[in-house]
Amino acid sequence: MYRTHTCGELRISDVNKTVTLSGWVDASRAFGPMTFVDLRDRYGITQVVFENNEDLNKQAMALGREFVVKVEGTVRERMAKNPNRATGDIEIVATELTVLNVSKTPPFTIKDETDGGDDIRMKYRYLDLRRGAVQKNLFFRSQVAIETRKYLAGQNFIEVETPNLIKSTPEGARDFVVPSRMNAGQFYALPQSPQTFKQLLMVSGFDKYFQIVKCFRDEDLRADRQPEFTQIDCEMSFVTQEDILNTFEGLTKHLFKTCLNIDLPDFPRMTYDEAMSLYGSDKPDVRFGMPFVELTDVAKGKGFPVFDGAELVVAINTERVASQYSNKTINELTEWVKRPQIGAKGLAYVKFEEDGSIKSPLSKFFTEEDFKTWADKCGAKKGDIIFILSGEAEKTRKQLSELRLELGNRLGLRNPSVFKPLWVVDFPLLEWDDDTQRFYAMHHPFTSPKRDQIASMLNGDHETMKNLRADAYDLVLNGVEIGGGSIRIYDRDLQSKNFKLLGMAEEEAESKFGFLLGAFEFGAPPHGGIAFGFDRLCAVMSGSNSIRDFIAFPKNNQGRDVMIDAPSFIEDSQLAELNIDVTVEKV
Amino acid sequence: MYRTHTCGELRISDVNKTVTLSGWVDASRAFGPMTFVDLRDRYGITQVVFENNEDLNKQAMALGREFVVKVEGTVRERMAKNPNRATGDIEIVATELTVLNVSKTPPFTIKDETDGGDDIRMKYRYLDLRRGAVQKNLFFRSQVAIETRKYLAGQNFIEVETPNLIKSTPEGARDFVVPSRMNAGQFYALPQSPQTFKQLLMVSGFDKYFQIVKCFRDEDLRADRQPEFTQIDCEMSFVTQEDILNTFEGLTKHLFKTCLNIDLPDFPRMTYDEAMSLYGSDKPDVRFGMPFVELTDVAKGKGFPVFDGAELVVAINTERVASQYSNKTINELTEWVKRPQIGAKGLAYVKFEEDGSIKSPLSKFFTEEDFKTWADKCGAKKGDIIFILSGEAEKTRKQLSELRLELGNRLGLRNPSVFKPLWVVDFPLLEWDDDTQRFYAMHHPFTSPKRDQIASMLNGDHETMKNLRADAYDLVLNGVEIGGGSIRIYDRDLQSKNFKLLGMAEEEAESKFGFLLGAFEFGAPPHGGIAFGFDRLCAVMSGSNSIRDFIAFPKNNQGRDVMIDAPSFIEDSQLAELNIDVTVEKV
């Protein structure tokens, strides 16, 4: 037997009990003839004292950090209690010590605040995961999963596992593929999402489906992307958009309440068009204001060539920063928006000083009257600064959105422990791409146009298509897209039309999605769904920017697991069995 | 709004309510001027009546099977109640009917008893899944998953997701591999199990881990195998075999109690050696007796050449069949054991007739005294038959094991609603293979020999290795292996020695499992675990032989999903991006 209790369990009421504990040596210190060892496990830390036994004491002094030991002893009340520790009232007076395993000196400190850089911690992820701060994240994730299942099962959702070895139908993102040995020359694909399967489950009559499920996308990885990630994937039948928003608003509130003890208010809703014109983003961070104000009509035609040539002149008002933002700060901001990642040509501003004076580099083109008009439009008062960008409308909005977030960061308006959820609704159905001269699905090819637009979608012209709106929605939390979904097409003809609009020939649509088109002919119910990014949800709920902190064994930006050293070269015999060759040299 | 209630919800207390229901037309029949429609959804069936409205009635008469409709109406008490239906006391008098979707005639009947063969039902799996009998299986599976999580979370297990894109380390089964685009020429593998990751989680101190997780094996598929399958995967630290058996016996009892309302008694335990000698199988079906009785010493040397040349002569007694089993039946059994799948040369028997006479084809070699000796050994009485096989010991035991199961089937001793669990323990650590002249791990390369045999494993000779026993165990239920596990090695040297015994060169061990060997140097705790085959558990609990019935979208024996038609050929551009070529022609 390795233990009678865990290292987080013993209390003052256990005094005089004979106990056995096992765990890791978190710290040890000699104190005259006594040695104190902090014994750690997942549940806590218990102090063990070695005294009055020279032999045992000697053994205890030889223990290194992270040694795994078993200790027998008696529980005793501590003289100097430690109120910061659940077991801080007691200690174990050891009568026996067994070293279960030794440890080399770890390559970094196993503490919440560690000296280990990212690379070394990833290589030794099993040691990184020993740190309380990292364990906490995985326990949190596990709790969010438990509460998700509890809520959805309580709402009659059934969890159904969909297959991982499916068919490659790349549309948008690239598929990971898996060569089939038994079907020479053919490949499975790993699912980018269980989309078609969950729709088939609706055709089967499962009514309410969910799954916490791994998905895969072979994309070039940015900081916050992983090739495999986890979704809370859901689908419901006989529902409208309203039913889905209510259900998943309920889920989100439940998770915040049970996992963080936070009561979220009802979620506001905003159309995609509003979000774009107010914040230049379909996932606005509404923890703070600074909405966009269009100045195009009042700023053009006054002789300032930059504005005169612009499609859009748009401003945000930044309150109470006039005295705080020196020219130096404003120059910094200007350089910031001119970086290639943002791409603005420059940054105009009007500073409304506390003393009533107005300062702006634009003052040789505009009168004080002009500036006051702008101030009125922007709601700017003494002490505020309005920042202005101009140019091609879509680009300029994106740039100003970035500036708005940067100002929010600088002004401490994006507090990670404040949570402002938002439904963004009424997304466009299709996006036109000038380069490839075709439409792309804004959400995915299975999304339905709004009910009253179905007729115009079946018969409309190019302009009509551009303006179609979908029953498609995103849940945005603190500027992060947590999830998205839509009401789906459930009619074969409409689905075929959509595939056609997306540039898919009839045979291609049939070969890729024939099973779904076929299913729509046998009594498909109206249905819709949503998927939450589970890794991201956990991160945002914890006020973290990094989904990696919530994944036990994440991959790096090259898609590598540096701990196990994968991917790797495989045996020629494996390749031969799979009927494939590698077209590059092994390096 | 599509519905105010589901089709399984309305009761007599709802009479006079105005309601809206949506669902599928399960059946409809005209009855004079009235039309009755059975409206079906996942929750039940509700009868809808169209009467006194010629227009509506005409619409209702036009409804086909599996049409999806929305009905508004009033709840009314039924004249002729249907006690077999939860909603059988009421019906809906329709005031409005909307056809939400039409349906072609399904290719097979959507009823529990269907006329559809396996192939057509798999092609239209989304219709097969509409059948109540099939839905029931998936609801059962979902319930077993919920209760598994409830039990394990209640025992402080944490669910951690391990990665699906890992490293190929084929040992035993073949890996499915995934070419990496970003790491040209390299491959990920899909996990055959999360074995090494769960061990690392123990090194990290997670103490108790579980996961309901997809695993993948690229094996030639037998009837009851799938290339992707689901495990309840668990690992615990600071435990002995006893702790693990108790925990998972507790889980199994909990599942039977909560999902089937069956109280299982404590599980008996049997060593591997006992199981092999008593039943010729490491997964004996103990719902019935018929243990093996060795007759070698009393049957050899009497002049019967078949026995005289045999390493083993072994019998089972079959009670009360002497009058029932004619020569014809016994000939059938003889042909059955001579089939190549079984491979016996013949089947000897001694029939102890009710009248005290003894009949046997061996009577010219053996005396009645001999037969009585055998009867004593076998516990055979008047009316019994003993069946005897002989030959090479291991093969003969396997053959007799098959015969025992076949007799059990014929005699109705394998009742699928009777459950007899059994722990088989003390498996050998290694198996010697004469063909390849090397040892194979009986369980897997991470299994520990029994504590008191570690020294002899580190230093012993070949014979010692053959006889090593491991802390490895299987949970067997009604002759089916539900799960298995072991106490693991947690010492680097012992693990290296095991890899070496398994024929792995040091560099190979380092390149495949260096991360695990490394982890063992930083304070790995003693640990062990188990994994249950989740699909199989659900099947056995339901008294079914087929795991396919419990998988929403299973693959056929060629590893194909015939519904979506996967695997399939992929684009040349995809191959090029992945730096691979296919070495066979597209057919």
Contact B566 A166 (CB under 8 A): yes
Could A163 and B555 be called an inter-chain contact, meaning their C-beta atoms sit closer than 8 Å?
yes
pLDDT tens readout for residues A204-259? 999 999 999 999 999 987 767 899 999 999 999 999 999 999 999 999 999 999 99
Q: Which helix (H) or strand (E) holds B47?
A: strand B44-50
> Any CB–CB contact under 8 A between A222 and chain B?
no
Q: Are A362 and A348 within 8 A, CB to CB?
A: yes
Q: What is residue B278's predicted lDDT score, i.e. its pLDDT?
A: 98
CA distance B342 to chain A (A): 27
Tokens of B235: 């690992």
**A160, A565, A584 ranked by CB distance to B552: nearest:** A160
Q: With a CB-CB cutoff of 8 Å, which residues 109-138 of chain A face chain B?
A: 124-127, 129-130, 135, 138
For residue A158, give the nearest of B130, B142, B566 by CB distance: B142
Find chain A residues with C-beta within 8 A of B227's C-beta: 165
Are the beta carbons of B185 and A586 separated by less than 8 Å?
yes
Report the pLDDT value the prediction gives residue A68, as an integer from 0 to 100: 98
Q: Where in chain B is the domain with CATH 3.30.1360.30?
A: 288-410
Q: What percent of chain B lies above the pLDDT cut of 90?
A: 91
| Record: fold of B133-265+532-575 | BirA Bifunctional Protein; domain 2 (3.30.930)
Interface membership of B222 toward A (CB under 8 Å): no
pLDDT at residue A470 in the model: 97
B544 has a chain A CB within 8 A of its CB: no
Task: Look at strands B269-271 and B421-425 and give their pairing.
Answer: parallel
Distance CA B402, CA B386 (A): 15
Q: Which residues of chain B have a CB within 8 Å of the CB of A580?
A: 179, 580-583
Nearest chain B residue to A70 by CA: give it. Answer: B238
B329 touches chain A (CB under 8 A): no
B230 interface with A at CB cutoff 8 Å: yes
User: Is the Cβ pair A2, B567 closer than 8 Å?
Assistant: no
Nearest by CB: A238 against B2, B103, B525: B2
- pLDDT one-digit tens code per residue, B461-505: 888 999 999 999 999 999 999 999 999 999 999 999 999 999 999
For residue A512, the chain B residue with the least C-alpha distance is: B564
Please name the residues in contact with B501: beta carbons below 8 A apart, sequence gap of 6 or more. B430, B439, B465
Residue B30, min C-alpha distance to chain A (Å): 22
Indicate yes or no: CB of A130 within 8 angstroms of CB of B490.
no
Which chain B residues contact residue A220 at CB under 8 A? 182
Q: Is B508 on the interface with A (CB under 8 A)?
A: no
Domain B288-410: give its CATH architecture.
2-Layer Sandwich (3.30)
Contact B190 A178 (CB under 8 A): yes
Contact at CB, A570 and B519, closer than 8 angstroms: no
Q: Is A159 on the interface with B (CB under 8 A)?
A: yes
> What is residue B225's predicted lDDT score, i.e. its pLDDT?
87
Q: Select from A163, A201, A582 the Cβ nearest to the Cβ of B579.
A: A582
Residue of B165, B181, B211 to mutate when probing chain A, most A C-beta within 10 A: B165
Boundaries of CATH 3.30.930.10 in chain A?
133-265+532-575
Q: Is the pLDDT of residue B71 over 90?
A: yes
Q: What is the mean pLDDT of residues B539-547?
A: 94
Mean pLDDT of chain B: 95
Residues 36-95 of B with CB under 8 A from A: 40-43, 66-68
Q: Count Cβ atoms below 10 Å from residue B339 Cβ, excluding itself.
A: 10
**Residues of B whose CB is below 8 A from A175:** 574
The pair phi, psi for residue B213, each rounded to 5°, is -140, 140
Residues of B in contact with A164 (CB under 8 A): 164, 190, 214, 216, 228
Q: What is the pLDDT of residue B115?
A: 85
Contact present, B577 and B522 (Cβ < 8 Å)? no
- In chain A, CATH 2.40.50.140 sits at 12-101
- Structure confidence at residue B587 (pLDDT): 64
Those of residues 177-196 in B touching chain A at CB distance below 8 A are 177-190, 196
Judged on CB neighbours under 10 Å (0-12, 13-18, 19+), B43 is middle
A493 in contact with B, Cβ within 8 Å:
no
Percent of chain A as helix, strand, coil, to the nearest 5: 30, 25, 40
pLDDT digits (tens, 9 = 90+) for B365-395: 999 999 999 999 999 999 999 999 999 999 9
Contact A189, A177 (CB under 8 A): yes
Q: What would the pLDDT profile of B177-227 be if each residue is shown by its tens digit?
A: 999 999 999 999 999 999 999 999 999 999 999 999 999 999 987 767 899
**Are A568 and B187 a contacting pair at CB < 8 A?**
yes
Which stretch of DSSP H or E encloses residue B21?
Answer: strand B18-31
Q: Could you tell me the CA-to-CA distances from B27 to A154, A297, B98, B101, B130 in Å, in that order?
A: 31, 65, 17, 16, 14
SS3 state at A393: helix
CB contacts, 8 Å: B504 with chain A: none
Asked if A203 is an interface residue toward chain B (Cβ–Cβ < 8 A), one would say yes
Residues 389-448 of B with CB under 8 A from A: none
Band of the pLDDT at A33, cuts 50, 70, 90?
Answer: confident
Read off the pLDDT of each residue in A344-368 and give the average, rounded to a whole number.
Answer: 95
Question: Does an H or E element contain B404, and which?
Answer: helix B393-410
Assign B545 a pLDDT band (cuts: 50, 70, 90). Answer: confident
Residue of B nearest to A3 (CA): B238
Backbone angles phi, psi at B80, to 5 degrees: -100, 100
From chain B, the residues in CB contact with A205 under 8 A are 24, 40-42, 129-130, 135
CA–CA distance, A430 with A447 (Å, rounded to integer): 10
- Give the best residue of A65, A187, A454 to mutate against chain B (max B CB count within 10 A): A187
Mutation test of the interface with chain A: which of B9, B67, B187, choosing the one with the most A Cβ atoms within 10 A? B187
Q: What local confidence, expressed as pLDDT, does residue A587 receive?
A: 64
Task: Report the percentage of chain A scoring pLDDT > 70.
Answer: 100
Task: State the nearest Cα–Cα gap between A296 and chain B, in angstroms.
Answer: 43
Chain A environment of B189 (Cβ under 8 Å): 566, 570
Burial B297-316 (b: 16+ CB within 10 A, else e): ebbbeeebebbeebebbbbb
Rounded-to-integer distance, Cα B387 and Cα B401, Å = 12
| B569 touching chain A per CB within 8 A | yes
What is the per-residue pLDDT across A268-319, written as a single tens digit (0 to 9) for each? 999 999 999 999 999 999 999 999 999 999 999 999 999 999 999 999 999 9
Q: Environment class of residue B515 by beta-carbon count within 10 Å: exposed (0-12), middle (13-18) or buried (19+)?
A: buried
Please tell me which of the candidates A100, A197, A586 has its beta carbon nearest to residue B526.
A100
Q: Is A165 on the interface with B (CB under 8 A)?
A: yes
Residue A210 in contact with residue A157, Cβ under 8 Å? Answer: yes
How many CB pairs below 8 A link A and B? 365
Among A123-137, B5-19, B347-361, B432-446, which stretch is predicted with the lowest mean pLDDT?
Answer: B432-446
Cα(B108)–Cα(B493) distance, rounded to whole angstroms? 61
In chain A, which residues have their Cβ closer than 8 Å to the Cβ of B129? 200-201, 204-206
State the nearest Cα–Cα gap between B343 and chain A, in angstroms: 28
Confidence class for position A116, pLDDT limits 50, 70, 90: confident
Q: Across the interface, do B129 and A521 touch by the CB < 8 Å criterion? A: no
Q: Once rounded to an integer, what is the mean pLDDT over residues B111-117? A: 87
Architecture of domain A12-101: Beta Barrel (2.40)
Q: Which of residues 93-112 of B touch A (CB under 8 A)?
A: 100-104, 106
Task: Identify the closest residue of chain A to B512 by CA–CA distance.
Answer: A564
